[in-house]
């Protein structure tokens, strides 16, 4: 009997694969992922495929877990990025005999037994490529929530896959053209929505998707996680049972033989995660928060409200709490490095703060948990309340709805809308005129963002307008903005991020409840708040919550102003944008005549991406 302890895989890594035997190309692709795995590389070339794995050995420094990993008969080989939290249970349930006791080997064993039909049994985050030498078939799969990234290209006539866009670019004979439809969507949404990327011919693999490639033919199918959907008869039953479900999910995400911490905000979701971590730990939990440099006159109390609430929560649980003070100078110094880590541009103003916080956390932990996903699953965003209001007044003539503008606090044009893609575009996308005013030439297509949103709404199988908006956010914004950013900044710092709220059991509990339990005419996230109000510290419910964002609008008027000017001098920015209009916008922003953070930040981020990734 194998008495080795259970260990997790060398999960903090990057993977690459291509059809064809090309050692030089796969080595270039894998080397481009070394920031995700600087401790070594594993390469396999043969049998008609090339596989690469960049390793960061924090969980198993022995050769047992090296990748690419073969099964015992050498009929299947895999490169894997992720964590399978129930791999121990799968070993016992399936009576698997494993020589390494890693979750990577469990995937190989399950494939031997079930083919790719084992995917619904997995509980975790993953992206992997597996090659069957007997049938000469390559499979690729990505987890259902899209926590782990996977990109692919068919440029040059052969399939290639990798954890990052830049790795795929290293394997191409020439730089791909700019995807102007995707660039148009980026300008409006402030991030790059999948499956397309800013590079023509490179796309992200959709969450919950399997790719099969054999004999030159490619096919795709989707899979659903196998979690049982519970029967929840009342809100009271949810309040009584859910904390135990959440505790079990957090416990599963704590499996590690290295230190684990949590990114703590002043909000409820990360506080819920901390609460359950504290219950499971005999030692003080390590918590990490960002505070921003600002004077009282600049609104320090407003910008640091989130950090103040997080500090109160940390004191309540007796954590080992560390705060990062992010200064304007740090923002300026880390901006280029952060953009390079992001792999695709993301104009979210918190990206540098999250990258700096990940670097701080890495000094004392190797794994962090966070509260992402709670808002999408349990109705936390104000836009869900707007959708609820509009669904309630849908039978009232538009001419009469405007009377309620003052009562609801909604703009008249929003009151005239129905829940759906047009409403999401109105609430989430930058105005078309703003984008059109800064571009040069005719490449900008304003309807791209609307079409992407509509496609996502069309795929949601629900008649509930609020649930549809929640699910669109979970499949679009959460995947391509929030999770992509989180994975990039943590992996770029040698840190692994885990998301307990996206555990398959938690998702099942969300789907087992009607949206009306979560979102009302006046309240958002109502059921989760009611569930945890008797459990969490009272300040989370008695004090006003503030959003987490830095004073970047102020900083680009002063210390970070040179970043804008440097971007406007870049050749690609000058080719694509009206630099004089942008310069005028920046000056108007500096003089407080016009608030222009969003277009300026979008162009700044894009300019840094061209330099650090696209042209690097």
The residues carrying an active-site annotation are 13
Q: Where are the alpha helices (DSSP H) in 439-503?
A: 447-459, 465-475, 477, 484-491
| Distance set, CA 292 to CA 262, 271, 390, 403 (Å) | 19, 20, 37, 41
Cα separation, 351 vs 413, whole angstroms: 32
Answer for the pair 332, 552: CB distance below 8 angstroms, yes or no.
Answer: no
Cα separation, 49 vs 129, whole angstroms: 11
Give the H or E element holding residue 41.
Answer: strand 40-46
Phi, psi (degrees; rounded to nearest 5) at 448:
-60, -45
Cα–chain center distance at 81: 15
Bond from prior residue into 195 cis (ω within 30 degrees of 0): yes
Q: Which residue is it, tokens 């890495």?
A: 362
Answer for the pair 350, 253: CB distance below 8 angstroms, yes or no.
Answer: no
The number of CA neighbours under 13 Å toward the Cβ of 284 is 13
**Secondary structure letter of residue 420 according to DSSP:** S
Burial class of residue 440 in the structure, from the number of CB atoms within 10 Å of its CB (0-12 exposed, 13-18 middle, 19+ buried): middle
Q: How many residues in total does the chain contain?
A: 616
Answer for the pair 135, 111: CB distance below 8 angstroms, yes or no.
Answer: no
Answer for the pair 122, 28: CB distance below 8 angstroms, yes or no.
Answer: no
3-state secondary structure of 210: strand
Cα separation, 369 vs 320, whole angstroms: 15
Answer for the pair 124, 85: CB distance below 8 angstroms, yes or no.
Answer: yes
């Amino acid at each position: 009997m194998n008495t080795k302890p259970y260990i997790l895989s060398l999960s903090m890594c990057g993977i690459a694969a291509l059809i064809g035997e090309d050692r030089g190309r796969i080595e270039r692709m894998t080397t481009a992922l070394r920031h995700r795995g600087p401790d070594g590389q594993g390469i396999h070339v043969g049998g008609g495929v090339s596989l690469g794995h960049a390793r960061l050995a924090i969980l198993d420094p022995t050769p047992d877990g090296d990748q690419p990993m073969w099964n015992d008969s050498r009929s299947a080989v895999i490169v894997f990025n992720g964590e399978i939290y129930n791999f121990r249970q799968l070993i016992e349930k399936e009576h698997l005999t494993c020589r390494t006791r890693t979750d990577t080997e469990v995937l190989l064993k399950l494939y031997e037994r079930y083919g790719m039909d084992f995917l619904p049994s997995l509980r975790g985050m993953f992206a992997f490529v597996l090659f069957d030498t007997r049938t000469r078939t390559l499979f690729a799969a990505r987890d259902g929530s899209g926590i782990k990234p996977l990109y692919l290209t068919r440029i040059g006539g052969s399939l290639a896959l990798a954890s990052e866009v830049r790795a795929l670019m290293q394997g191409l004979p020439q730089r791909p053209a700019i995807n102007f439809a995707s660039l148009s969507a980026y300008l409006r949404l402030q991030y790059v929505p999948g499956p397309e990327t800013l590079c023509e011919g490179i796309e992200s693999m959709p969450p919950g998707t399997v790719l099969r490639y054999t004999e030159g033919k490619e096919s795709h199918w989707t899979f659903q996680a196998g979690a049982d959907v519970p029967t929840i008869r009342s809100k009271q039953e949810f309040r009584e049972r859910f904390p135990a479900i959440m505790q079990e999910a957090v416990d599963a995400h704590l499996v590690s033989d290295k230190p684990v911490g949590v990114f703590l905000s002043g909000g409820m979701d990360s506080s819920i995660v901390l609460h359950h971590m504290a219950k499971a730990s005999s030692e003080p939990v390590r918590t990490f928060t960002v505070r921003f440099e600002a004077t009282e006159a600049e609104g320090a109390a407003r910008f640091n409200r989130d950090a103040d609430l997080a500090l109160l929560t940390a004191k309540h649980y007796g954590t080992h709490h560390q705060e990062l003070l992010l200064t304007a100078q740090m923002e300026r110094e880390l901006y280029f490095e952060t953009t390079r880590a992001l792999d695709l541009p993301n104009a979210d103003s918190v990206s540098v703060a999250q990258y700096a916080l990940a670097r701080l956390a890495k000094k004392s932990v190797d794994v962090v948990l966070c509260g992402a996903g709670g808002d999408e699953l349990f109705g936390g965003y104000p836009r869900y309340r707007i959708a609820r209001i509009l669904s309630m007044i849908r039978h009232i003539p538009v001419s009469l709805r405007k009377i309620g503008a003052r009562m609801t606090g909604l703009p008249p044009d929003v009151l005239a809308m129905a829940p759906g893609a047009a409403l999401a575009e109105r609430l989430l996308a930058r105005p078309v005129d703003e984008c059109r005013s800064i571009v040069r030439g005719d490449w900008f297509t304003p309807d791209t963002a609307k079409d992407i949103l509509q496609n996502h709404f069309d795929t949601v199988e629900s008649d509930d307008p609020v649930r549809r908006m929640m699910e669109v956010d979970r499949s679009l914004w959460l995947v391509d903005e929030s999770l992509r950013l989180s994975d990039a900044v943590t992996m770029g710092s040698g840190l692994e991020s885990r998301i307990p709220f996206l555990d398959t059991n938690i998702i099942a509990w969300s789907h087992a409840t009607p949206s009306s339990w979560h979102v009302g005419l006046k309240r958002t996230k109502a059921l989760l708040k009611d569930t945890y109000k008797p459990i969490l510290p009272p300040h989370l419910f008695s004090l006003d919550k503030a959003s987490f964002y830095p004073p970047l609008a102020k900083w680009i008027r002063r210390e970070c102003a040179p970043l804008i000017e440097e971007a406007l001098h870049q050749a690609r920015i000058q080719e694509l944008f009206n630099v004089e209009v942008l310069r005028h916008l920046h000056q108007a922003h500096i003089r407080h005549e016009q608030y222009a953070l969003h277009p300026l930040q979008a162009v700044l981020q894009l300019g840094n991406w061209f330099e650090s990734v696209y042209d690097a």
